[in-house]
Structure 1
Amino acid sequence: HTQFLNMMSYEDIISSEFSNLTPEALKKPGELLLNIKHKCLPQVPDKKCHCPNPFTPSTRADTRPNWMFAHNVNTQLALESASRGAHHLDIVFFGDSITEHWRGTKYGHDVTSSSGLQGAVRVFDKLFNTENGGKLEGLPLGLSGDTTHNLLWRLQNGELPAHLNPSVYWLLIGTNDFGDEECSAEMCLLGIIRVIEELRKKKPYATIVVNSLLPRTNDAYGYLFWIKKLRRRKAPRIVLWPHLLAVNKQLESYCRRNQSNRKHDERYGGLLFFNATNIFLEKYDGMEDDPSQASSLSINLDLNLLKRDLDSQSNDIFMGDQTDIRINHTLMENDFLHPSPVGHYVWGVAIVNFLLENNVTNDV
């Protein structure tokens, strides 16, 4: 099984080159979908595939009673921030639960007292609240469990008001397209691109940064390319990471191809890609294979030791034997999906540095 994964190429997962899509092509979603061979992951039979159309915005109000409440909370936060003026905000984050955790809520309800999210909230207040000494002012607008087409609906129905004009919109969405809906990499990629273009259309003068999909796995020890032991007894035995990685590769190309707007007219914002992959990964050293012992180090680690050289990152992780690569237990929670407080901090510091280095905020 592991040997098969190491032989895979990006073309095995995403057969078409979507990174050169034009806005005109996106206006013909039917033609794009016709060229997709499989709408779900390879392990899912076509008859059981229920991946929705990534171009059709939708809510989850019918299955999650609190979903609309959470959307309304986000809309109100966006309107309140917009009312404070054009230069109040540097960055608005759009995403799913990973983003919502920065506010300490789940479906819009405060759960910091019972969920252990206090650390994530403190990190955000430290890094993205100028009153607390942060270099940037930020607003997280996440909604737990959301997919690309859920976020598309939110953007079209209140969470992107006309007067909300930060310098930067930061986007992290798509992991639930894989994990919850079992969509193929191609379907997920199209969904993310559709959201990107919605932001570009509504906010042409803002810079949009697309965060790479974060590593995730169902393996109990955090390995990416094989499953030694299921983290949950009923978890699917699906190796997701190669598919997420293929999406990241094309997203990076898409952003690079579409970055030219700023060069032609400085009034227009750019489209940048932020590769967070190596922040959360490590190579297993063979000393310990017990995640509980590995995660116990998180409290006393010197955060300065966790800095990563982001410039040296590469998505080309298919080459060679990668069976020893796994998610860092210190930087991710035990679900190997959501960043831990330490992970939020290291990731957040990298975000701040990236924005300041690229000179795209109000304060620079």
Structure 2
Amino acid sequence: MQAQDANPAIHAVSRMQTQWWRERFLRKQHHIRHTACDLVWFGDSITHNWERHGPPAWQDFATVWRAYYGDRRAINLGFRGDDTRNLLWRLMHGELDFHNTPRVFIVMIGVNNLGHLGQCAGQAAGGIRRIVERIHHAFPDSPLILPGVLPSLRSAWVTSQTTRLNHMLRTYAAPRGRWLHYIDLAPCLQTGGKVDASLFMDPLLSPPGLPLHPCAIAQARIARHLEPLICRLLGDYPHHLLPPRAAYCGVP
């Protein structure tokens, strides 16, 4: 067995035994096969959270999604708890069987490889590369956005591995810049250059958790940070999230 084949992050693993996951997978399959999709988000819970509604305001992600992606024929293929193995399984079992050719892909995966599985940066990077290559092989003319794995406040080890992983992803993307676009989202979760716990939803949950998942305000920062690149790749117009008062008063 070759060394890279020994990497557990590159081997597809199903979660079909989990009822909610299976039901979501089947719903998304129907959407993929019967509805045109131009912008495709692949990911884990951070992507899945785009479907959360408020109140409270800190979990009103859906408003942000509608503002930036509501008219872009976007599909959310984020699954809570997924790592690279589970996303690979989905890609191998229908999540690339689109009704049309998507115009842009976004892949946000890897936090659970480090946190839940305890895999090192090199292993997670191998899984992410395998995902990117599979998507690109299926749709060679569609650009792919590869955001860096988001910072968190889980442990010093996870922080160091996140830094290493993102360096690997940036290096991997650099010579593939014609179609692969790495982008650093860490500033969206920082204040004064440091990760800001108030920009995460986990401490607000009951029971509270370690800061991992951006709150809706931080997710809006992420959408705003990605917007120039998404707009350029789609060739459409800039999208914005209106302030609540302006939106209420009908300001265009």
| Runs of 4+, deviation exceeding 4 Å | 112-118
Q: TM-score, normalised by structure 1?
A: 0.58
Cα distance in 2 for residues equivalent to 1:33 and 1:79: 32
Displacement of 1:162:
4.1
Q: CA deviation at 1:209?
A: 0.7
Q: Partner residue of 1:125?
A: 66
**Separation in 2, partners of 1:142, 1:115:** 22
Whether 2:210 is the aligned partner of 1:274: answer no
Greater helix proportion: 2
Q: Which amino acid aligns with 1:242?
A: S
Quick one: distance in 1 between partners of 2:50 and 2:128?
Answer: 21
Structure 2 Cα separation of the partners of residues 211 and 55 of structure 1: 19
Tell me if 1:186 matches 2:158. no
From 119, 129, 147, give the equivalent of 1:211: 147
2:24 is aligned to 70
Structure 2: gaps of 5 or more residues: 204-209, 238-252
- Residue by residue over 1:62-82, the C-alpha shift from the partner in whole angstroms, topping out at 9 and shown as x without a partner, is 4x3322112112212222323
Alignment of 1:253 with 2:171, yes or no, is yes
In the superposition, the TM-score normalised over structure 2's length comes to: 0.83
Q: Which runs of 5+ in 1 are unaligned?
A: 1-28, 35-51, 83-88, 105-111, 131-135, 219-236, 263-269, 284-324
1:332 aligns with 2:200: yes
1:182/1:116 CA distance change after superposition, 3 Å: farther
Q: 1:102 aligned to 2:57?
A: no
User: Do 2:34 and 2:99's aligned partners in 1 also have CA atoms closer than 8 Å?
Assistant: no
Distance 2:198 2:114 in 1: 24
Give the Cα separation in 2 of the matches to 1:256 and 1:199: 18
Is 1:348 paired with 2:226?
no
1:344 Cα deviation (Å)?
A: 1.1
Residue 114 of structure 1, CA deviation:
8.9
Alignment of 1:38-187 (within 5 A): 53-62=8-17, 64-82=18-36, 89-104=37-52, 112=53, 119-130=60-71, 136-187=72-123
- Cα offset for 1:155? 0.9
Please say which structure displays the higher CA radius of gyration. 1
Q: Could you tell me how far apart the structure 2 residues matched to 1:31 and 1:182 are?
A: 19
Matched residue pairs, number? Answer: 230
Query: Structure 1 residue 30: deviation in Å?
Result: 2.3
Identity over aligned pairs, percent = 23
In the alignment, the residues of structure 2 paired with residue 53 and residue 239 of structure 1 have an alpha-carbon distance, to the nearest angstrom, of 19
Deviation at 1:361, TM superposition (A): 0.6
> For the residues of structure 1 that align with 2:38 and 2:4, how far apart are their CA atoms?
35
Residue 296 (structure 1) aligns with: none
**What is the alpha-carbon root mean square deviation over aligned residues?**
2.3
1:79–1:162 CA distance, 2 compared to 1 (3 A): closer
Look up the equivalent residue of 1:144 and give its one-letter code. Answer: R
Letter in 1 for 2:196: N
Offset of residue 55 of structure 1: 2.2
